[in-house]
């Protein structure tokens, strides 16, 4: 730390510790400094060596990345339908009592909580997701933020009464030094050898699709999203920073995220934004309706035109637009939605895409919007409760955090959540991958199966499957 900055840090820390001693009440201390360029993946690798749980976020469309190490504070509430409101209440209480030293107010600096929710708090949890409760947020001890070409380090530490100032100062300085190791990150070329790849009950999945289309023919249900799992086993433990780097390098227009709990790491590269809030500006996105990429530019364009015109994909997409529009109207003003979707291209596929912009009403927060939006018909179905009941009763999979909101909020009133798609639960030398499809009345099981295969491709390829 440069000398002037170090003086500022020690003065702020000492003042915060004194207030904790005086009140005899624990308090979160948060200190942000601007630093020289620091390698994010190296930071994550070092964090792993120190056995800090790691978090990672890379934006789909902005120059913005955050790497987190450790859990200075954890927020987790009971599994219930109003879990969003309770997390929001805990988050507000935490901020109210925090001592924050952050002159920059840049997104993702200061007190930042990263975390997520499970897809369905009412579905019984299986052993697969035992490390991931219905919701979990953490304020990392150390956050390296890269935004618009600048780097920031935030240190968060819960200060307890009776702690020694010197001990705390030394602890923070030592970890800071170790994590900001300036060595260049080497993708260790740990090319993973895949020992086995097991598709979990693909034929039964297709049968469930048939059942869903029959139910839709005979009831008021219009759309049900059904997902499936693929399980891999490697010759050695997967290396999280390597996987994240490969996802960032190969998956443009996608949010790359990771959240580590115990020995497990949930990570992915998802194209789907759920909601972004910056001050009063709100942006949500409808993404549903899928086609592959073409091998030539002409073929690509023909496929895009066909996707744009295709009634089945347009129907899948329109349910999402209607629902997101009406939910945004409940929490926002000035809701604007284009009349027609665009086609957005990703590495292995194309999606129908409609952005929804709005202004946040004063009494609402990002968590209120999440509670209204999740799950959109891109992951649940229409009508929501009936589709969810069908999924709960018929889908073989425990979705865990797949298909659910994952993201961050900060003390500057910024935040963004994506829908955790194109993701994998890494469990040392094993991994589960997930993919699903929007099923409507005229869905064909075999085509939906093919659609999951292209959705699984990016994650399979970074994990060493051709
Ligand atoms: C459920 C997934 O994708 C959703 C998001 C975009 C397009 C979709 C589709 O066309 O079916 C799905 O609704 C997934 O990738 O696992
Ligand atoms: Mg689809």
pLDDT at 368: 96
Instruction: Name the residue of 381, 424, 438 whose CB sits within 8 Å of the most ligand 1 atoms, as the mutation to test its pocket.
Output: 438
Q: Is 38 in the pocket of ligand 1 (CB under 6 A)?
A: no
In this structure, are strands 99-101 and 27-35 parallel, antiparallel, or unpaired?
Answer: parallel
pTM of the model: 0.97
Distances (CA, A) of 417 to 83, 193, 255: 16, 33, 9
> DSSP characters for 44-85?
HHHHHHTT--EEEEE-SSSSEEEEEES-SEEE---SSTTHHH
In terms of phi and psi (left: phi > 0; alpha: psi -120 to 50; beta: otherwise), the region of 108 is: left
Nearby residues of 283 by Cβ (< 8 Å), 6 or more positions away? 273, 275, 276, 355, 356, 357, 358
Burial class of residue 236 in the structure, from the number of CB atoms within 10 Å of its CB (0-12 exposed, 13-18 middle, 19+ buried):
exposed
451 is an annotated ligand-binding site residue: yes
Ligand 1 centroid to Cα of residue 351, in Å, is 9
Whole-number percent of the chain with pLDDT over 90? 93
Contact assessment for residue 322 and residue 433, using Cβ atoms and an 8 Å cutoff? no
What 3 state SS string does 352-378 have? EEEEEEEEECCCCCHHHHHHHHCCCCC
Atom of ligand 1 nearest to the CA of 434: 16
435 Cα to the center of ligand 2, angstroms: 11
Please state the atom number of ligand 1 nearest to the C-alpha of residue 455: 15
> Looking at the CA of 271, which ligand is closest?
1
- For ligand 2, a single-atom ion, the residues with CB < 5 A are 290, 437-438
Q: From the CB of 225, is ligand 1 less than 6 Å away? A: yes
Q: Is the pLDDT of residue 2 over 70?
A: no
Task: Name which of 380, 313, 378 is nearest 340 in CA terms.
Answer: 313
Q: How far does residue 438's CA lie from ligand 1's centre (Å)?
A: 6
pLDDT tens, residue by residue, 303-347: 999 999 999 999 999 999 999 999 999 999 999 999 999 999 999
State the pLDDT at residue 158: 98
DSSP H or E run through 313: helix 311-331
Q: Which residues pair with 145 in a beta bridge?
A: 66, 152
Mutate to test the pocket of ligand 1, among 60, 425, 437 (most ligand atoms within 8 A of CB): 437
pLDDT at residue 189, as a whole number: 56
Calpha distance 345→290 (Å, rounded): 10
Confidence of residue 181 (pLDDT cuts 50, 70, 90): confident
Active site residues: 223, 272
Q: Ranked by mean pLDDT, which of 35-39, 191-195, 443-447 comes out on top?
A: 443-447
SS3 call for 418 = strand
191 CB burial (10 A radius; 0-12, 13-18, 19+): exposed
The CB of 291 under 6 Å from ligand 1? The reply is: no
What ligand 1 atom has the least distance to the C-alpha of 287? 6
Q: Are 256 and 248 in contact (CB under 8 A)?
A: yes
Read off the pLDDT of residues 18-60 as tens digits, 9 standing for 90 and up. 999 999 999 999 999 999 998 999 999 999 999 999 999 999 9
Domains annotated on the chain, with CATH: 3-179 (no CATH), 195-256+266-462 (3.60.120.10)
Count of H helices and E strands in the chain?
Answer: 11, 23
ipTM of the complex: 0.99
Rg, C-alpha atoms of the chain: 22
pLDDT one-digit tens code per residue, 252-276:
999 999 999 999 999 999 999 999 9
Query: How many residues are given for the chain?
Result: 466
User: Which residue shows structure tokens 């890494």?
Assistant: 426
| pLDDT tier, 466 (very low <50, low <70, confident <90, very high otherwise) | confident
Is 316 labelled as part of a ligand binding site? Answer: yes
Which of these, 385, 393, 404, 172, lies nearest to 272 by C-alpha position? 404
Q: Is the dihedral of CA 336, 342, 344, 348 positive or negative?
A: positive
Ligand nearest to the CA of 378: 1
pLDDT digits (tens, 9 = 90+) for 385-427: 999 999 999 999 999 999 999 999 999 999 999 999 999 999 9
* Residue 110 pLDDT greater than 90, yes or no: yes
């Amino acid at each position: 730390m440069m000398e002037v900055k170090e003086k500022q840090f020690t003065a702020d820390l000492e003042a915060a510790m004194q207030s904790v001693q005086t009140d005899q009440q624990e308090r979160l201390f948060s200190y942000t400094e601007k630093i020289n360029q620091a390698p994010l993946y190296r930071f994550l690798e070092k964090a792993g060596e120190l056995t800090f749980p790691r978090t990672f976020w890379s934006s789909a469309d902005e120059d913005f990345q955050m790497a987190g190490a450790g859990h200075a504070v954890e927020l987790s509430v009971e599994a219930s339908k109003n879990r969003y409101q309770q997390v929001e209440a805990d988050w507000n209480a935490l901020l109210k009592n925090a001592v924050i030293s952050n002159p920059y107010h840049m997104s993702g600096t200061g007190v930042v909580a990263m975390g997520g929710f499970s897809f369905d708090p009412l579905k019984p949890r299986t052993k697969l997701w035992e490390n991931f409760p219905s919701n979990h947020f953490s304020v990392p001890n150390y956050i390296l933020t890269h935004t618009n070409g600048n780097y920031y380090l935030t240190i968060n530490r819960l200060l307890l009464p009776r702690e020694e100032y010197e001990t705390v100062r030394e602890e923070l300085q030592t970890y800071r030094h170790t994590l900001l190791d300036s060595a260049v990150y080497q993708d260790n070329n740990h090319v993973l050898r895949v020992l086995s790849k097991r598709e979990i009950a693909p034929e039964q999945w297709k049968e469930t699709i048939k059942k869903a289309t029959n139910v839709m023919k005979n009831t008021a249900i219009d759309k049900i999203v059904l997902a499936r799992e693929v399980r891999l086993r490697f010759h050695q433990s997967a290396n999280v920073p390597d996987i994240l780097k490969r996802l960032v390098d190969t998956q443009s227009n996608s949010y790359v995220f990771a959240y580590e709990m115990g020995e497990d790491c949930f990570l992915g590269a998802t194209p789907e934004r759920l909601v972004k809030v910056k001050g009063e500006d709100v942006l949500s996105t409808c993404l549903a309706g899928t086609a592959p990429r073409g091998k030539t530019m002409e073929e690509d364009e023909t496929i895009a035109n066909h996707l744009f015109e295709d009634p089945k994909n347009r129907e899948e997409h329109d349910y999402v637009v209607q629902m997101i529009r009406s939910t945004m109207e409940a929490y926002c003003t000035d809701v604007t939605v284009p009349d027609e979707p665009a086609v957005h291209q990703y590495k292995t596929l194309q999606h129908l895409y409609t952005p929804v912009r709005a202004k946040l009403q004063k009494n609402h927060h990002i968590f209120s919007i999440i509670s209204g939006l999740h799950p959109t018909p891109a992951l649940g179905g229409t009508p929501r409760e009936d589709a969810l009941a069908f999924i709960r009763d018929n889908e073989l999979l425990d979705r865990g955090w797949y298909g659910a909101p994952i993201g961050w909020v900060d003390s500057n009133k910024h935040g963004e959540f994506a829908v955790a798609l194109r993701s994998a639960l890494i469990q040392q030398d094993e991994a589960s991958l997930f993919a699903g499809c929007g099923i409507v009345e005229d869905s064909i099981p075999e085509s939906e199966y093919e659609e999951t295969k292209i959705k699984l491709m990016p994650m399979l390829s970074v994990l060493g499957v051709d």
